[in-house]
């Protein structure tokens, strides 16, 4: 029998800054290698016999498919749980759920509401826990987005990313990425939906610049990115938000204000005619399909890193 691998200290990925810049860049390089092998139909079964539990308390297309396909491609298997289909929907405490699930599987991914809920789960888990989206953060998406940027444009350090729209889970995760990876984040959103200075913290203009005018925010950007005006869990605010965000639709004028070679990204699902015009998301600067595909490769590298640590080849 092969000797059991020492898993090292227990690590979670609950927000991007749970990893150092070196670790994030390593995962991205590893994702590129895994992607290259995938494209050449070369097996990469580094997580043979490992089991991932996926807990969804909100809807998903990309996150579910990328984690599920990814774990099978690594040689492991998955268990899919939802709130309604599990005892979570009948008020079993999240701590008890964590204690039980983590005795049976090697890794857990959760998509839920408050960040404190995933933190409570992780505090009672024996295995690594991955944030598959909370109200506050979406770190797996940013791994895929940075991977996509690097593939198209090279290193992201020193570049400018324009975030247009809601100061939501994606915006705060982009801010963590800017701090960790050394690029500048421009943010523009309507009054009432801007970054909370307390949450944003004490960051200087090399990391964060905020703009009233979205066109100004797009100026000199290497990447323009946005997201839905109403995130999951905020549906009751839909009509109010639709009115408030009307001038924050990423359109051809905004893309023209950015650098000529700027990319457009959107984590998806998108609403054409709301946060982005159809000619931008379906146009030549958009890399949204590469971005969506890269969820698969980035998360395979992430799962491997959490379970096996630094790999050589
Ligand atoms: N971008 C993203 O997380 O998509 P899903 O909600 O479909 O998982
Ligand atoms: N901000 C969006 C992202 C969806 C992937 C939400 O939380 O609903």
CATH code of residue 32: 3.40.50.1370
Instruction: Let me know whether 129 and 247 are in one domain.
Output: no
- Short-list 73, 72, 50, 54, CA closest to 63: 54
pLDDT in tens, 30-47: 999 999 999 999 999 999
Tell me the Ramachandran region of residue 281: left when phi exceeds 0, alpha when psi lies from -120 to 50, beta otherwise: alpha
| Statement: residue 55 has pLDDT above 80 | yes
Q: Is residue 6 part of a domain?
A: no
**Confidence band, pLDDT 50/70/90 cuts, at residue 1:** very low
Ligand 2 center to residue 231 CA distance, Å? 5
Do residues 299 and 30 make contact, with C-beta atoms less than 8 angstroms apart?
Answer: no
**Is 39 domain-assigned?**
yes
Chain segment 160-215, per-residue pLDDT in tens? 999 999 999 999 999 999 999 999 999 999 999 999 999 999 999 999 999 999 99
Is the CB of 268 within 6 Å of ligand 1? yes
pLDDT in the model for residue 207: 98
Are residue 131 and residue 24 in the same domain, yes or no?
yes
| Percent of the chain whose predicted confidence (pLDDT) is above 90 | 96
Residue 125 sits in the same domain as residue 226: no
CA 1 and chain centroid, separation:
38
Residue 8 belongs to a domain: no
41 by Cβ neighbours in 10 Å (0-12 / 13-18 / 19+) ranks as exposed
DSSP state of 126: S
Phi/psi-derived region of residue 255, left when phi > 0, alpha when psi is between -120 and 50, beta in every other case:
alpha
Tokens of 102: 């983590």
Helical H segments across 124-233, by residue range = 139-153, 169-181, 197-200, 214-218
Enter the DSSP assignment of 19: S
Residue at 7 is within a domain: no
Within this chain, do residues 63 and 205 fall inside the same structural domain, yes or no?
no
pLDDT digits (tens, 9 = 90+) for 93-135: 999 999 999 999 999 999 999 999 999 999 999 999 999 999 9
Instruction: Locate all alpha helices (DSSP H) within 154-195, ordered by sequence.
Output: 169-181
Give the position, in ligand 1's atom list, of the atom nearest the Cα of 66. Answer: 8
Going by pLDDT thresholds of 50, 70 and 90, the confidence category of residue 3 is very low
State the residue range of the domain holding 149.
Answer: 141-291
34 and 103 both lie in a single domain: yes
The mean of the pLDDT values for the chain is 97
Contact between 184 and 159 under an 8 Å Cβ cutoff? The reply is yes
Radius of gyration, alpha carbons of the chain: 19
- Testing ligand 1's pocket by substitution, the residue of 111, 267, 276 carrying the most ligand atoms inside 8 A of its CB is 267
CB 128 within 8 Å of CB 12: yes
């Amino acid at each position: 029998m092969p000797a059991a691998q020492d898993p090292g200290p227990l690590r979670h990925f609950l927000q991007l800054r749970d990893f150092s810049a070196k670790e994030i860049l390593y995962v991205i390089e590893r994702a590129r290698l895994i992607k290259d092998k995938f494209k050449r139909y070369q097996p990469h079964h580094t997580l043979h016999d490992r089991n991932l539990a996926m807990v969804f308390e909100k809807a998903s297309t990309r996150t579910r498919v990328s984690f599920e396909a990814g774990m099978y491609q690594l040689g492991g298997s998955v268990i899919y749980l939802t709130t309604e289909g599990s005892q979570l929907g009948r008020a079993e405490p999240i701590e008890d759920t964590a204690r039980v699930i983590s005795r049976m599987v090697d890794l857990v991914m959760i998509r839920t509401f408050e960040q404190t809920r995933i933190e409570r789960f992780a505090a009672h888990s024996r295995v690594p826990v991955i944030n598959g989206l909370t109200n506050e953060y979406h770190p797996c998406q940013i791994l895929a987005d940075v991977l996509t940027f690097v593939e198209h444009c090279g290193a992201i350090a020193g570049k400018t990313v324009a975030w247009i729209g809601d100061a939501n889970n994606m915006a705060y995760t982009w801010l963590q990425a800017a701090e960790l990876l050394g690029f500048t984040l421009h943010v523009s959103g309507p009054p009432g939906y801007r970054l909370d200075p307390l949450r944003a913290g004490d960051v200087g203009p090399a990391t964060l610049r905020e703009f009233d005018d979205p066109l100004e925010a797009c100026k000199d950007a290497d990447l323009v990115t946005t997201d839905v005006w109403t995130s999951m869990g905020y549906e009751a605010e839909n009509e109010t938000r639709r009115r408030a965000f009307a001038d924050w639709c990423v359109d051809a004028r905004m893309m023209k204000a950015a650098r000529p070679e700027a990319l457009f990204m959107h984590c998806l699902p998108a609403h054409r005619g709301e946060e982005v015009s159809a000619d931008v998301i379906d146009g030549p600067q958009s890399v949204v399909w590469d971005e969506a595909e890269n969820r698969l490769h980035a998360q395979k590298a992430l799962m491997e890193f959490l379970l096996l640590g630094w790999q050589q080849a």
